[in-house]
Chain A
Amino acid sequence: AQSVTQPDIHITVSEGASLELRCNYSYGATPYLFWYVQSPGQGLQLLLKYFSGDTLVQGIKGFEAEFKRSQSSFNLRKPSVHWSDAAEYFCAWGGGADGLTFGKGTHLIIQP
């Protein structure tokens, strides 16, 4: 079965610094990959998605992610984080009607 791994449970970054959140997937076929963000007490909001084509995808709020098939990775990046980026971030795999497989999430803490 497909799985999604987010190796970092918590990450602390200083405001204004760059950010990279890691995501690895295990599935042989063309993956459909997503990054969602969850602010405290809220639902999930889609940041970006990858299906095919250009391996660098742009999302909302200044986020981008790069798909690397050779590394089975889909890492999320932002060049300069803001305090409002503090949240839980989920990488997910899936396509079609039968639901998403989520990683366990990375909790992002922003230091002033």
Chain B
Amino acid sequence: NAGVTQTPKFQVLKTGQSMTLQCAQDMNHNSMYWYRQDPGMGLRLIYYSASEGTTDKGEVPNGYNVSRLNKREFSLRLESAAPSQTSVYFCASRSGTSVNNEQFFGPGTRLTVL
């Protein structure tokens, strides 16, 4: 099993450009998440999808959209990138069958917006 995979690993954008970060998991998990990590801030939840067909806002959703394409895939879109969105983005998934299931994280995407 590959676990949680993310593409791309690195990306540089200019202000105003758009892009989509891809995430896929092969563990048949129900729930998927997008976090951003900034220095000194820990990880903050952007959006999550508790199950296929549902998405909900997290702590910092502004400037982002998400799509739960199917049970495996959960993408994050930046419609008009801003320098404040320079960050490392992590996707995670969770089985959801029990309250004590852990989240499994992907390797991250390092995004720089100039």
A contact set with B: CB distance below 8 Å:
9, 32, 34, 36, 42-46, 49, 51, 90, 92, 95-105
Q: Are A102 and B105 in contact (CB under 8 A)?
A: no
On chain B, the number of residues with a Cβ less than 8 Å from chain A's Cβ atoms is: 29
Subset of 21 A-B contacts with CB under 8 Å: A9-B40, A34-B102, A42-B107, A43-B108, A44-B43, A44-B90, A44-B92, A90-B42, A90-B43, A95-B99, A96-B99, A98-B50, A99-B33, A99-B35, A99-B45, A100-B43, A100-B45, A102-B35, A102-B44, A103-B42, A104-B40
Q: Are B42 and A51 in contact (CB under 8 A)?
A: no
Cα-based distance from A99 to B106 in the complex (angstroms): 15
Q: Are B44 and A32 in contact (CB under 8 A)?
A: no
Q: Are B90 and A43 in contact (CB under 8 A)?
A: yes
CB neighbours (8 Å) of A9 from chain B are 40
Cα-based distance from A100 to B42 in the complex (angstroms): 11
